[in-house]
Structure 1
Amino acid sequence: MLNRHARGFFTGLFSPLARFLLRVGVSPDAVTVVGTAGVVLGALILYPLGQLWWGSLLIAVFALSDVVDGIMAREQGRSGPWGNFLDSTLDRLADGAIFVGVAIWFFTGGGNSAIAIASLACLVLGMVVSYARAKAESLGFYANVGIAERAERLISVLLVTGLTGLGLPPVVLLVTLVMLAAATAVTVVQRMAAVREQAMADVDGGTPA
């Protein structure tokens, strides 16, 4: 739901920038790569240094490239398998860097191993969510269901991590990550259940009378 409501707003906001980049010869793939690089550098350099606010701000800015490259591809009429593959693959890299960066800081200077462990749990479960959908679609099933999709996960962790850097009690970040991990685990189960239901329906439908 969040994705659908936000997409129209951000498309209108960033369409002029996307058209400008196309006019000066920048490709959608270049924006995807640069955006991911910015997220990874922000997460793996600023977060481990304890710069949670500035790290979150930088990551949020570069994460918007995910919107810009999509607009550019549509403007060019080039939305296709390669762009989708590149975008999805680099999204996994960016997501991993964010949660690893949080974990590094709280295992070291942050001095809160519970937050670090919760962050790594979010990382692992988030990867399973993405894999479950990809594997399901490769088998011809639909698995785009669940209560904790990527946008919700990222907005939650970036917002609360950034505010923690401004003085929000770390326990709020811990609770957020634990709830996020739980919601992500539920999403894994929901996707498995959805695929199982479709698979069983195919078996039943193909069984001779």
Structure 2
Amino acid sequence: MVLNRYREKVKGYLEAMVRPLAKIGITPNTITVLGMLISLLGAYLFYLREPGLAALVLISGSLVDALDGTLARMTGKVSRFGAFLDSTLDRISDGAVLFGIALGGLADWRWVFLTFMGAYLVSYERCRAELAGSGKLDVGIAERAERLLILIAFSLAGVKYVKYGVYLVGTLAWITVVQRMWAAYQRLK
């Protein structure tokens, strides 16, 4: 939620980046799949215990991930399936990154598992509450962008710091789970 406040400020830059893609016929769904593939590369680099390289790859993946929606809006190709695909592939990307960290031995697998659960619940709660009629449930201190930024920052600091990023992301994800649970309760009771 914190980083979403800046979305309007970078809108012009994102639009400038996607104009050439629109001209050559690249679709938003193609960008979505590309973003996931980049995240899978980042996950593999975590597995290889190369967190600095993984972080750089995830930075580029995050940029690509921000482009698909912009391209869809600019070209009039916004679709419910595109939103579904984006959300689904984001979950695959998030899980793969955490899995790569665990397999690389960069953080205790139990913490990674708890972080994984929290991150998925944040997303699930929003979807389920909105389907139940809560309105847009974008509350909480650690949505996907914040969690990814934290992992990137700690990964850039080096191998021994990745686990602290996982601890922080896990803690913030669970706080967000509670925040969303409370907000959904207030709206749906």
TM-score scaled by length of structure 2: 0.90
The residue identity in structure 2 corresponding to 1:53 is G
**C-alpha distance in 2, partners of 1:12/1:199?**
36
| 2:75 alignment partner in structure 1 | 76
Q: How far does residue 105 in structure 1 lie from its aligned partner after superposition?
A: 0.7
Partner SS, residue 47 of structure 2: coil
| 1:185 alignment partner in structure 2 | 174
- Number of residue pairs matched by the alignment: 187
**C-alpha distance in 1, partners of 2:48/2:117?**
23
Q: Which has the higher contact order (CA 8 A, sep 6+)?
A: 2
**C-alpha distance in 1, partners of 2:152/2:164?**
14
Please list the CA deviations of residues 104-160 of structure 1 after superposition, one character each: whole Å capped at 9, or x if unmatched. Answer: 111xxx5xx53x332222111100111111111111113321111111101001111
Against the structure 1 CA distance between its residues 15 and 198, is the aligned structure 2 distance closer, same or farther, given a 3 Å change threshold?
closer
Q: Which of 160, 165, 180 is the equivalent residue of 2:154?
A: 160
The residue identity in structure 2 corresponding to 1:156 is I
| 2:16 alignment partner in structure 1 | 16
List gaps (5 residues or longer) in structure 2: none
| 1:105 alignment partner in structure 2 | 104
Partner SS, residue 187 of structure 1: helix
| 1:33 alignment partner in structure 2 | 33
Are 2:115 and 2:169, in contact at CA under 8 Å, matched by a contact in 1?
yes
Q: Which of 127, 133, 137 is the equivalent residue of 2:130?
A: 137
| 1:205 alignment partner in structure 2 | none
Are 2:32 and 2:86, in contact at CA under 8 Å, matched by a contact in 1?
yes
Are 2:46 and 2:100, in contact at CA under 8 Å, matched by a contact in 1?
yes
The residue identity in structure 2 corresponding to 1:34 is L
Are 2:42 and 2:54, in contact at CA under 8 Å, matched by a contact in 1?
yes
Are 1:32 and 1:69, in contact at CA under 8 Å, matched by a contact in 2?
yes
**C-alpha distance in 2, partners of 1:179/1:68?**
27
Please list the CA deviations of residues 166-185 of structure 1 after superposition, one character each: whole Å capped at 9, or x if unmatched. Answer: xxxx2x43333223222211
Matches within 5 A, 1:46-57: 46-57=45-56
**C-alpha distance in 2, partners of 1:39/1:10?**
22
Q: How far does residue 80 in structure 1 lie from its aligned partner after superposition?
A: 2.9
The residue identity in structure 2 corresponding to 1:70 is G
| 1:123 alignment partner in structure 2 | 116
| 1:147 alignment partner in structure 2 | 141
Larger Rg computed on CA atoms: 1
Q: How far does residue 41 in structure 1 lie from its aligned partner after superposition?
A: 2.4
**C-alpha distance in 1, partners of 2:154/2:87?**
24
TM-score scaled by length of structure 1: 0.82
